[in-house]
Amino acid sequence: MGDQLYVNPEALWEAAQRLEAMAHRITADLARCASALSPVPAGLDEVSLAAARWSSSASSSLNHRTHAAVAELRAASGALAAIAADYSANDETFSAALHARS
């Protein structure tokens, strides 16, 4: 094929779907674990309150970063889907043009 590039739109669609499914699973898993990640203090003593605050702070940081990662996965999924759609549309246009010539 030399300097030609072959793109398989179906493979791009599949990759986009896998990324979206991964983003969905991560979001669902994080929601399922939310209460465990932000426990209530075991007591009213200083150590229990500090431990609960620390855990809640760590959970907040984890949530923020995980949601950012999920947004990146969804952006990548959307980009792959758009590229697949463009390649499919171009293939159809070129095929129609070739058939019109024959």
Going along the chain from its start, the domains and CATH numbers come out as: 9-101 (1.10.287.850)
- What's the CA gap between 101 and 89, in Å, rounded? 19
Enter the pTM of the model.
0.77
Segment 45-60, tens digit of pLDDT: 999 999 999 999 999 9
Q: E strands, the chain, where?
A: none
Q: Are 13 and 84 in contact (CB under 8 A)?
A: yes
pLDDT the model gives residue 1: 53
